[in-house]
């Protein structure tokens, strides 16, 4: 909801003050908790936080007075009073538990300031979407800010076990890999990062997997702030949704389904970790490991807390019956999950009506069917999973050297076929795979998951459109159709553009790696494997990532960011504005093929 103010200049001053105040809030928290010893006297830092609390209260009063409609202002900011009451309640609870009035006060003030920053950041993100001409640019900026903020937090002394073992480039690489849900690492997350660092990485995975813009919209809606028409249109562009009126429902569905799936996955993984003889953790560690790997799997990140990924659990059923479904569901795309959810709800309701004897023409209504997008995603995903499994099984059995760690069993072949789409967890040393198996994985990594989800690659829908276009051309047919529906020529052109730009980016990135790593004796297929894994946001590696030069790591970071945002979307957002010509040229045929 947009609030109209009597004096716009005064409101701009307030906004500038909010930016400065937000920066000071973050600086005080970093100074207090980012170092083993606070950078300044804690009493001074807590006094600054108290002053910031006073500023935010004054800011609310100024804006309320400046608003043209006091009713509209409080309708959009109704949550302010509950936040204050929550802070007071927590203060009384903390004081009642014997923490002391001063410590309880600091806790309540800190929590209020954090909630203020979240609320204002969420509202600002949505407003920027509506103001900008291209929402994709806001998405790019949000990812860059997320990566930089994550790198800064990971570089803090409290985030690493040994500060001397991590450079700013390594922190930036880890933040990029987590935010872009890739999974390539130059440092062992489980042993070289503290609990604080691991929590930062987990937050980067969650925010990067769903998109910080989605979280901004979710928090804005949770605070009762309805999306305007412009804001809904911007979200519709980012979510690739067909119906504008379904945007709030889709955003809510994405958030709720993500929490439910990750929670179920974490619960199912709690019995996995004690199977490793190296396990020395207690019950809290079991829950943290389960939550970390469930979120990493659903977001298709592939980042884990073990140096050998999931190799120690290759014989455990949770690896195949929990991790694989999490990755597959995350790679389907939220549009497909929404369609599946609607279909299941309709079928359950329909069955309930029949059981209760309420089957009438008024109650049953039209039959709910899958959309063309859902049909294509389900069909192509099944084909790719089967083809990848068979390919790995055959090539590892008949072309690989006699190495005990190779993925030669059916469960392991299926597992890596799933993880190539684009999660990156592994149970074997990827360097020990045969060249044929690496080539199969490269193809799977290029295709990736499905549009609108957490996976990377050119996407399954893009590949099937291009494949159908080729088949249609070979059959000398005029129209491209599948499942009783026609596909427009414009969609074919966009799919070809996606694959072309993706291939060009991969070629340039691989060329850059051959230059920066020319002094090392690296097999070209392994280098291609690494570059494809980065651009596809997969996380598979043959062990080259940590040994790359600084320039090589920077190239992989750029590939990861481009792969997460989408090469074509990134290129059009940065270079071209939409232009509709008012004329057309005569058609003339040329010879191709």
Q: What are the pLDDT digits (tens) for 303-325?
A: 989 888 888 898 889 899 999 99
Beta-carbon contacts of residue 186 (< 8 Å; ≥ 6 apart)? 170, 173, 174, 545, 546, 548, 553
User: What are the DSSP calls for 44-55, one per residue?
Assistant: HHHHHHHHHHHH
Please choose, from the candidates 524, 528, 466, the residue with its C-alpha nearest in 3D space to the C-alpha of residue 500.
Answer: 466
- Residue 365 confidence (pLDDT): 45
Angle at 116 between CA 90 and CA 102, to 5 degrees: 35
C-alpha–C-alpha distance, residues 428 and 400, integer Å: 13
Chain position carrying tokens 């412009």: 230
- Tell me the pLDDT tens digit for each residue of 522-565: 889 999 999 999 999 898 988 888 888 999 999 999 999 988 88
Element (H, E) at 481: strand 480-482
Residue 176, pLDDT score: 93
Q: What confidence tens digit (pLDDT) does each residue in 460-480 have?
A: 888 888 888 888 888 888 788
427, 415 Cβ separation under 8 angstroms: yes
User: In this predicted model, what pLDDT tens digit does every residue of 446-458 receive, in sequence order?
Assistant: 998 888 777 888 8
Residue 367 has pLDDT above 70, yes or no: no
User: pLDDT class for 335, splitting at 50, 70, 90?
Assistant: confident
More confident: 338 or 160: 160
Looking up tokens 């790997």 gives 293
pLDDT in the model for residue 199: 93
Is the per-residue pLDDT at 251 higher than 80? no
Residue 363: the pLDDT is: 42
Q: How far apart are CA 415 and CA 540, in angstroms?
A: 13
The CB-side HSE value for 135 (13 A sphere, CA atoms) comes to 20
* Distance of alpha carbon 586 from alpha carbon 220, whole angstroms: 51
Lowest mean pLDDT among 22-36, 384-398, 569-583: 569-583
Contact predicate 294/265, CB 8 Å: yes
Render 50-103 in DSSP notation, one character per residue.
HHHHHHHHHHHHHHHHHBS-HHHHHHHTTTHHHHHHHHHHHHHHHHHTTS-HHH
pLDDT for 417: 92
Write the pLDDT tens digit of every residue in 215-231: 666 666 665 555 666 66
Confidence (pLDDT) at 148:
92
User: What mean pLDDT value characterizes the chain?
Assistant: 82
Q: Which residues in 182-214 are b (16+ Cβ under 10 Å) and which e?
A: bbbbbbebeebbeebbbebbbbbbbbbbbbbbb
Report yes or no: 500 and 571 within 8 Å, Cβ to Cβ. no
Question: How high is the pLDDT of residue 497?
Answer: 86
Provide the pLDDT for residue 361.
Answer: 44
Q: How confident is the model at residue 261 (pLDDT cuts 50, 70, 90)?
A: very high
Percentage of the chain exceeding pLDDT 90: 24
What would the pLDDT profile of 373-413 be if each residue is shown by its tens digit? Answer: 888 889 999 999 999 999 998 888 887 766 554 566 888 89
Question: Quick check: 43 pLDDT over 50?
Answer: yes
Is 364's pLDDT higher than 60? Answer: no
- What residue segments make up the domains of the chain, in order of their start? 380-575
**End-to-end CA separation in angstroms for the chain:** 55
pLDDT tens for residues 229-246?
Answer: 666 665 665 565 555 556
Render pLDDT for 497-514 as a digit per residue (tens, 0 to 9): 889 889 999 999 999 999
């Amino acid at each position: 909801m947009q609030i109209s103010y009597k004096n716009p200049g005064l409101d701009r001053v307030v906004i500038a003050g909010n930016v400065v105040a937000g920066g000071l809030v973050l600086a005080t928290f970093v100074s207090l908790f980012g170092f083993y010893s606070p950078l300044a006297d804690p009493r001074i830092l807590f006094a600054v936080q108290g002053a910031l609390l006073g500023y935010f209260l004054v800011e609310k009063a100024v804006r309320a007075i400046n608003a043209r409609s006091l009713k509209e202002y409080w309708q959009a900011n109704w949550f302010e009073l509950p936040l204050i009451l929550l802070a007071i309640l927590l203060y009384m609870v903390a004081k009642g538990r014997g923490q002391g009035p001063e410590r309880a006060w600091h806790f309540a003030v800190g929590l209020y300031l954090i909630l203020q920053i979240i609320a204002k950041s969420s509202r600002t993100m949505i407003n920027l979407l509506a103001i900008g001409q291209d929402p994709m640019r806001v998405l790019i900026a949000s990812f860059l800010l997320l990566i930089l903020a994550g790198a800064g937090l990971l570089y803090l002394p409290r985030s690493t076990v040994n500060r001397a073992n991590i450079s700013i480039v390594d922190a930036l690489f880890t933040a990029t890999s987590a935010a872009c849900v890739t999974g390539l690492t130059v440092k062992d997350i489980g042993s070289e990062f503290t609990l604080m660092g691991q929590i930062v990485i987990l937050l980067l995975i969650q925010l990067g997997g769903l998109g910080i813009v989605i979280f901004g919209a979710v928090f804005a809606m949770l605070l009762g702030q309805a999306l305007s028409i412009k804001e809904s249109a911007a979200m519709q562009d980012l979510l690739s949704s067909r119906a504008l009126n379904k945007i709030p429902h889709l955003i809510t569905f994405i958030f709720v389904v993500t929490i439910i799936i990750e929670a179920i996955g974490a619960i199912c993984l709690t019995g996995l970790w004690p199977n490793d003889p190296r396990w020395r953790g207690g019950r809290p560690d079991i829950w943290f490991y389960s939550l970390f790997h469930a979120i990493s799997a659903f977001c298709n990140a592939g980042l884990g807390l073990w140096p050998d990924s999931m190799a120690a659990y290759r014989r455990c059923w949770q690896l195949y019956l929990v991790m694989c479904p999490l990755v597959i569901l995350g790679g389907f795309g939220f549009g497909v999950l929404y369609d599946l959810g609607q279909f299941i709800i309709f079928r359950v309701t329909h069955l309930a009506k029949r059981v209760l004897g309420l089957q009438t023409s008024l109650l049953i209504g039209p039959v709910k069917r899958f959309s063309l997008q859902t049909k294509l995603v389900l069909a192509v995903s099944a084909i790719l999973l089967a083809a990848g499994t068979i390919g790995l099984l055959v090539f590892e059995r008949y072309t690989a050297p006699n190495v005990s760690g190779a993925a030669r069993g059916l469960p392991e072949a299926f597992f890596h076929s799933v993880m190539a789409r684009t999660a990156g967890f592994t149970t074997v040393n990827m360097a020990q795979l045969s060249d044929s198996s690496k080539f199969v994985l490269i193809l799977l990594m290029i295709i990736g998951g499905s549009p609108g989800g957490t996976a990377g690659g050119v996407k399954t829908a893009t590949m099937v459109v291009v494949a159908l276009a080729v088949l249609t051309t070979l059959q000398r047919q005029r129209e491209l159709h599948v499942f009783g529906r026609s596909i427009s020529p414009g969609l074919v052109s966009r799919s070809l553009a996606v694959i072309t730009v993706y291939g060009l980016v991969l070629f340039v990135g691989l060329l850059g790696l051959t230059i920066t790593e020319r002094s090392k004796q690296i097999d070209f297929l392994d280098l291609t494997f690494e570059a494809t894994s980065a651009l596809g946001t997969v996380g598979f590696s043959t062990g080259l990532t940590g040994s790359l030069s600084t320039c090589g790591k920077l190239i992989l970071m750029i590939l990861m960011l481009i792969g997460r945002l989408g090469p074509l979307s990134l290129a059009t957002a940065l270079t071209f504005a939409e232009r509709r010509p008012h004329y057309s040229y005569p058609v003339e045929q040329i010879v191709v093929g």
